[in-house]
Amino acid sequence: MAGLIITPRETDFERISEQQVETLYKEVGIGSNTFEHIKSRLKKVTAEQDKTDKEKAPDVSVGILSRERIRFKLEKSYTVNGQEVSGEQEVTSSCGKILWKDMLYTELLFRPQAPDASFSIYDVTIGVNFHWEQKETQTFTGQLRITVDGEKLYAINTLPVESYLESVISSEMSATCGIELLKAHAVISRSWLLAQMEKRKINRIEKEKQISCVQKDDELIRWYDREDHTLFDVCADDHCQRYQGITKTTSKNVTEAVQGTRGEILMSIAGEICDARFSKCCGGMVEEYRYCWEDIDKPYLTALRDTTEEKVDIDLTKEENIKKWIHSSPNAFCNTTNTKVLSQVLNDFDQITKDFYRWHVSYTQEELLQLISSKLKIDFGKILNLIPLQRGKSGRISRLKIVGTKRSFIIGKELEIRRILSSSHLYSSSFVIDLLDLDAAGVPQRFKLIGAGWGHGVGLCQIGAAVMGEKGYTYDAILRHYYSGALLKKFYE
Ligand SMILES: [Zn+2]
Ligand SMILES: [Zn+2]
């Protein structure tokens, strides 16, 4: 017990005895027993608060569509603004507000009365900008929020992160997928999602725009990263992760994979949620982050050989080494022709080529010139050469010089190169160039690109991970292999 006694005169202070002080203190203060009791209760409350905060799985808000008029059906009873509603509904945009049942609102939040309640939204566009783009009715659980931005209304679905993951993994992965690969994907998707949600929280305060383009007179270096959403955490399109609510049934394996890894994410040693990237096939060597996106280090997205056996260091940034590498078929998890494994990762497996570990593409002078000049809107004359100026650790070109008879131009990074040198996309930017049939003036009449892998090659290699799963590796071993330097942590119970 402690306290401070102030007396009017010094003589009064000197006359006070120890016993008087103690009596006074006991009258105004609390006893040691009471103090201990309060202390223990406070500790208990704080610990319980911590526990509930940690245990509580977060909700995610998903932007389903934006339009001037949205039609939907509440299959069961929902509450909105204190009233109960169900059945067919229509909202339209009117003077920057939401018009619903002859009244104007700035926001409408439909909360389900029962946990199994669902609502359906009509005319949701799927496959935006793809040849199979179409409209369908989609069904969702959780809350429906209608909000407005300018002339457009937005339908936003809020639901628990774990339910969202079951839906997106069912959409993205084949039903024949092995359980360990599905579990690895569940952890990756969850990490990506929670990182996205955290980032949005910070961006709300900072509002800074990331640079993703360096443009000079003779150079265009561009990388494509997801632009963040402002009205919701993620959209329902491939731009984020394809989400169709409960429209399609979830496979038993996906439910098992999501529930079996509940709350688990990848974290960096510095304690931040990992930006867990993945691509289809690394081509034998996993690429480092900075060669595909921003020039920064992500310590868990580093270059590595996609094997646990052979650990010979090969410097694939050097032209002589990459040539040998691409012309050979080095041992790697993703070096496989096992159709059972390939069909797990490649959804429309029957329609696509199986040669992507090593591939080649040939162009005539006219074809290549047409491709490049139509995409860059530059008159090159004739194409004389394609010269790699910089390669990443997996051999992926991040700066490529296009040399023409009239002028030269430098392009990058990997996705821009793949886009410009193909009518759709090249499999990867890890390739070497053969100049063939040179005419008298030294102008090649044919170009052959010989390449390795499919996609940016950063982080998890899906084909490699599927093979690892088949070989009996568990999901945590698969994740440790591709994200060495990341830790598997439980973010909530
Ligand atoms: Zn998106
Ligand atoms: Zn691989």
Three-state secondary structure along the chain?
CCCCCCCCCHHHHHHCCHHHHHHHHHHHCCCHHHHHHHHHHHHHHHHHHHHHHHHCCCEEEEEEEEECEEEEEEEEEEEECCEEEEEEEEEEEECCEEEECCEEECEEEEEECCCCCEEEEEEEEECCCCCCCEEEEEEEECEEEEEEECCEEEEEEEEEHHHHHHHHHHHHCCCCCCHHHHHHHHHHHHHHHHHHHHHHHHHHHHCCCCCCEEEECCEEEECCCCCCCCCCCEECCCCCCCCCCCCCCCCHHHHHHHHHCCCEEEEECCCCECCCCEECECCCEEECHHHCCCCCCCCCCCCEECCCCCCCCCCCCCHHHHHHHHHCCCCCCCCCCCHHHHHHHCCCHHHCCCCCCEEEEEEEHHHHHHHHHHHHCCCCCCEEEEEEEEECCCCCEEEEEEEECCCEEEEECHHHHHHHCCCCCCCCCCEEEEEEEECCCCCEEEEEEEEECECCCECEEHHHHHHHHHCCCCHHHHHHHHCCCEEEEECCC
Q: How many angstroms does the Cα of residue 65 sit away from the middle of ligand 1?
A: 11
Mean pLDDT of 436-462: 96
Q: Which ligand is nearest to the CA of 243?
A: 1
Please tell me the number of the ligand nearest to residue 278's CA: 2
**Banded model confidence at residue 12, pLDDT cuts 50, 70, 90:** confident
Q: Taking the alpha carbons of 188, 158, 116, 250 in that order, is the dihedral positive or negative?
A: negative
pLDDT at 176 over 90: no
pLDDT digits (tens, 9 = 90+) for 54-83: 567 899 999 999 999 999 999 999 999 989
- The confidence band for 400, taking pLDDT boundaries of 50, 70 and 90, is very high
Distance from residue 457's CA to the centre of ligand 2 (Å) = 8
pLDDT of residue 131: 63
State which residues have CB under 5 angstroms from ligand 2, the bound ion. 282, 306, 334, 461, 464
Q: How far is the CA of 289 from the centre of ligand 1 (A)?
A: 21
Q: What is the model's pTM?
A: 0.81
Which ligand lies nearest the alpha carbon of 286?
A: 2
Instruction: Give pLDDT, residue 55.
Output: 61
Q: What would you report as the CA-atom Rg of the chain, rounded to the nearest whole angstrom?
A: 30
Report how far ligand 2's centroid is from the alpha carbon of 460 (Å): 8
Ligand nearest to the CA of 240: 1
Distance from residue 152's CA to the centre of ligand 2 (Å): 43
CA of 242 to the centre of ligand 1 (A): 9
Q: Residue 225: which pLDDT band, with cuts at 50, 70 and 90?
A: confident
Ligand nearest the Cα atom of residue 466: 2
- Distance, in Å, from the CA atom of 157 to the CA atom of 287, rounded to the nearest integer, reads 36
Q: How far is the CA of 453 from the centre of ligand 2 (A)?
A: 8
Give the closest ligand to the alpha carbon of residue 237.
1
Q: Which residue has the tokens 């080529």?
A: 353
Q: What does the pLDDT look like over 78-106, one tens digit per residue?
A: 999 989 999 999 999 999 999 999 999 99
CA of 398 relative to ligand 2 center, distance in Å: 19
What distance in angstroms lies between residue 233's CA and the mean position of ligand 1's atoms?
A: 8
* CB proximity list for 58: less than 8 A, separation 6 or greater: 160, 161, 194, 197, 492
Distance 163 CA to ligand 1 centre (A): 18
pLDDT, position 174: 81
What pLDDT digit, counting tens, does each position of 404-417 carry? 999 999 999 999 99
At residue 311, the pLDDT reads 67
User: How confident is the model at residue 45, as a pLDDT?
Assistant: 57
Q: What percent of the chain has pLDDT over 70?
A: 89
Axis-axis angle for helices 179-206, 462-470 (nearest 10): 140
What is the Å distance from ligand 2's center to 326 Cα? Answer: 14
| Rounded distance from Cα 246 to ligand 2 centre (Å) | 33
- Taking all residues of the chain, what is their mean pLDDT, rounded to a whole number? 89
> 46 Cβ partners below 8 Å, 6+ apart?
none
**pLDDT tens profile 15-52:** 888 878 777 777 777 666 666 666 666 665 555 555 55
Instruction: Give the pLDDT score at 110.
Output: 98
Residue, of 312 and 143, whose pLDDT is higher: 143
